Amino acid sequence: MNVVCVGDCGVDRYLPLGRDRAGGITLNFAVHARRLFEPEDRVIVISALGTDAESKMVTDTVNELALEAYLAGVAGATSIQTIDLEPSGEKIFVEYEQGVLGEYRVAERERALIADADLLMTPYYRQIAGFFDSVMSSPSRGLRAVDFADIAENPTSVTVEKYLDDFDIAFLGLSPSHAELIDQLHRIAVNADKLFIVTLGSHGSEALSKKGRLLCPAAPVDKVVDTTGAGDTFAAGFLREYCRSKDVAASLTRGATEAAKTIQQIGAF
């Protein structure tokens, strides 16, 4: 099986710790996918890094974890996400610098890898919309999943509807206060015959599809340390189970179990 992860790899700059870690939605997902999928499955990372000192942290992490990666080197800066933490462990995204990802587009080599994907996983957020468009315009043979990572910042269904023909599964991080939007997303999922997975933090998760709405509680934890990467880990756990069984309930539970491990430590992995 070819699991192709295309999107952001960069640096998480933790203000309360005074140090950096390799991160980004795509790298976080790929690390956990490599851990969860079978050893014989290929887990491939496609992204772009700058030519600055921060890029070395990412490449060193990729090499240390033995990930199969295609990281284009582009003159400029590697993306940086500045993070603060509340006493509760809830992450606060203070500032994001997209660096070279703002102008990067997948090329012929990357399109060939995407075409062979049994599972394509890619994030959307506005700072890398052009990069995302280049991924969505690249056909692939298997399941296509999108993490609409900034939907909570702009709680509308517009972007989801724009790309409805380009994916099979959407991951959407929201909260119970977005009940009206979640109802609307369910109607869209039913009409388009898609599977939407809404993650709700400590309130669990919900699958929206033609089959109805399926709730799953969050897995209990002793102490939340850092919620960074919880959604990425959830998606890796969910898709690992879903690719094997197509059992949505079991996949929600697996996602919750894996996310619970992540939030009890600093960093997404």
pLDDT, position 72:
97
pTM over 0.75: yes
Which residues have C-beta within 8 Å of that of residue 100, sequence separation ≥ 6? 48, 49, 50, 74, 75, 76, 77, 78, 79
pLDDT single digits (tens) 94-119:
999 999 999 999 999 999 999 999 99
**CATH class for the region spanning 2-262:** alpha beta
Q: How confident is the model at residue 246 (pLDDT cuts 50, 70, 90)?
A: very high
Pairing of strands 205-209, 169-173: unpaired
Cα–Cα distance, 206 to 212 (Å, whole number): 10
pLDDT, position 192:
98
pLDDT single digits (tens) 130-176:
999 999 999 999 999 999 999 999 999 999 999 999 999 999 999 99
pLDDT, position 112:
98
pLDDT, position 140:
98
pLDDT single digits (tens) 53-83:
999 999 999 999 999 999 999 999 999 999 9
Task: Report domain extents, the chain.
Answer: 2-262
pLDDT, position 222:
94
Answer positive or negative: Cα dihedral of 54, 59, 62, 68.
positive
pLDDT, position 144:
98
Which residues have C-beta within 8 Å of that of residue 14, sequence separation ≥ 6? 20, 21, 83, 84, 85, 266
Residues of the chain above pLDDT 90, percent: 100
